[in-house]
Amino acid sequence: MKTRKVKIEEAVGMILCHDITEIIPGEKKGRAFGKGHRIREEDLERLKGLGKNHIYVLHMDEDDVHEDDAGRILGEVLAGENIKVTEPYESRVNLHAAVDGLLKVNTKALYRINRLDDVAASTLPNYSVVGKGEMVAGTKAIPLVVKRGIMEQVREIGKEEGAVVSVVPFRPVKISLIITGTEVYKGIIQDAFQPVLREKVEALGGEVIDVSYAPDDERMIREKIQRALGLGSDIVLVSGGMSVDPDDVTPKAICSVAQVVKYGSPVLPGAMFMMSYIGDVAVIGIPACGMYAKITVFDLIYPRIAAGERIQKEDIIALANGGLCRKCESCRFPNCSFGRG
Ligand SMILES: Nc1nc2c(c(=O)[nH]1)N[C@H]1C(S)=C(S)[C@@H](COP(=O)(O)OP(=O)(O)OC[C@H]3O[C@@H](n4cnc5c(N)ncnc54)[C@H](O)[C@@H]3O)O[C@H]1N2
Ligand code: MOO
């Protein structure tokens, strides 16, 4: 890239080769003059007001890519399924969710792109629940022109690793709720679990097809799980009785019919969580914190299952970093560090 510095008085009639930005603190940040603008006599006062006594006139070499074109290439490479890309502004391109769903970030590709000089890309955290239209990633060039070779490497990473961001829509899953606890079963206390779980699954498009109650009895809980399977459930949620009391028999009941992925999660709240499967049906043991804490491990794992992911042991272990809830007075999840390691 060759640049020539000229006094603005001498620049009248010349083509501006870069944007000039105007910032009025607290009021606006915007383009005062765009790339390609021919400097006119009447522009001089405004340019001086922006602190510009000189402008750069650019000569771009064959192997230079203008920042806006670099932004376009980055957007193209980053965008996967259900992503819409904006036009560049000062090289920045934003990527938006085209549907409601689960954001998937290809972190390896993201890191490889960011290891290159002169380009940057950032995303919302992997596995965020996003709404249609929401911005999920942004990307831009750092200098005014980027070497073609760098942009070729960006494209190469895209070819090797695939897209960086995509949104997977939630499946219309069928859910059975099994609420355990002798005190609830006998009507000594009112069930407070069902409304919490129902709201969370319905928010992501799930349908509660059955709700049943069981006392702290291993055999009866097992029978309820088997019954839920017979009803064609995609997901079975079993609440309560997940801890260490002699009456806490839910883990045993789940173990007796399902393949356990993991009992215990490095997430607080949610330590007594159990993830298991019977074939493709996810059977999840949810400790009582899932009822009284606003957000638990369930809120981190459930959206992934609803989006069709099969949860592995490593997925649960990986939640440890960022798995500690700050217990803010007023919960701001997902705009906080919980589950964002
Ligand atoms: N000695 C220890 N005690 C506890 C531990 C521990 O490690 N050592 N872990 C704690 C953690 S962490 C959690 S979380 C809870 C897990 O509780 P459970 O899943 O076993 O829940 P329950 O014992 O069945 O019930 C606790 C509490 O909540 C009420 N409950 C349960 N289900 C309902 C419902 N559907 N509606 C309304 N209320 C419900 C129940 O009556 C109890 O009062 O364990 C800690 N303890
Ligand atoms: O399962 Mo308890 O998990 O931490 O509040």
1: pLDDT strictly greater than 80: no
144: pLDDT strictly greater than 90: no
Answer with the residue of higher pLDDT: 221 or 13: 221
110: pLDDT strictly greater than 70: yes
Q: What is the mean pLDDT of residues 242-254?
A: 94
Give dist(CA 265, CA 324) in Å, integer. 11
Kindly report, residue by residue over 152-166, the tens digit of the pLDDT.
Answer: 999 999 999 999 999
> What is the rounded average pLDDT for all residues in the chain?
94
Measured in degrees and rounded to the nearest 5, phi and psi for residue 277 equal -135, 145
Distant-in-sequence, close-in-space partners of 159: CB < 8 Å, separation ≥ 6:
none
Q: What is the mean pLDDT of residues 120-145?
A: 96
Give dist(CA 44, CA 135) in Å, integer. 37
Q: Which of 20-24, 57-61, 179-183 has the highest mean pLDDT?
A: 179-183
Question: What pLDDT is stored for residue 285 in this prediction?
Answer: 98
Query: What is the Å distance from ligand 1's center to 233 Cα?
Result: 25
Nearest atom of ligand 2 to the alpha carbon of 289: 5
Closest ligand to the CA of 288: 1
Query: What is the Å distance from ligand 2's center to 23 Cα?
Result: 49
Could you report the predicted ipTM of this complex, rounded to two decimals? 0.97
Question: What pLDDT is stored for residue 15 in this prediction?
Answer: 66
CATH of domain 2-59: 3.90.105.10
Q: Does the CB atom of residue 248 touch ligand 1 within 6 A?
A: yes
pLDDT > 70 fraction of the chain, expressed in percent and rounded: 97
Q: For domain 64-168, which CATH number applies: 3.40.1280.10, 1.10.1740.10, 3.90.700.10, 3.90.1170.30?
A: 3.90.1170.30
One-letter amino acid at 147 equals K
CATH 3.90.1170.30 domain span(s) along the chain: 64-168
Q: For domain 174-320, which CATH number applies: 3.20.20.140, 3.40.50.720, 3.40.50.300, 3.40.980.10?
A: 3.40.980.10
Confidence of residue 34 (pLDDT cuts 50, 70, 90): confident
* Long-range contacts, 27-35 (Cβ 8 Å, 24+): 31/89, 31/90, 35/66, 35/68
Confidence of residue 258 (pLDDT cuts 50, 70, 90): very high
CATH 3.90.105.10 domain span(s) along the chain: 2-59
Query: What is the Å distance from ligand 2's center to 60 Cα?
Result: 60
Query: What is the Å distance from ligand 2's center to 30 Cα?
Result: 48
Q: Which of 212, 272, 286 to mutate to test the pocket of ligand 1 (most atoms within 8 A of CB)?
A: 272
CB 228 within 8 A of CB 196: no
Give dist(CA 95, CA 273) in Å, integer. 35
DSSP symbols for 230-245: HTT-SEEEEES--SSS
68: pLDDT strictly greater than 90: no
Q: Does the CB atom of residue 288 touch ligand 1 within 6 A?
A: yes
Answer with the residue of higher pLDDT: 247 or 341: 247
Residue given tokens 């500690």 in the structure block: 324
Q: Which of 245, 289, 298, 324 to mutate to test the pocket of ligand 2 (most atoms within 8 A of CB)?
A: 289
Question: What pLDDT is stored for residue 319 in this prediction?
Answer: 98
Q: What is the mean pLDDT of residues 298-310?
A: 98
CATH 3.40.980.10 domain span(s) along the chain: 174-320
Closest ligand to the CA of 265: 2
CB 209 within 8 A of CB 174: yes
- Enter the pTM of the model: 0.89
For residues 293, 297, 299 and 305, what is the CA-based torsion angle, rounded to 10 degrees? -150
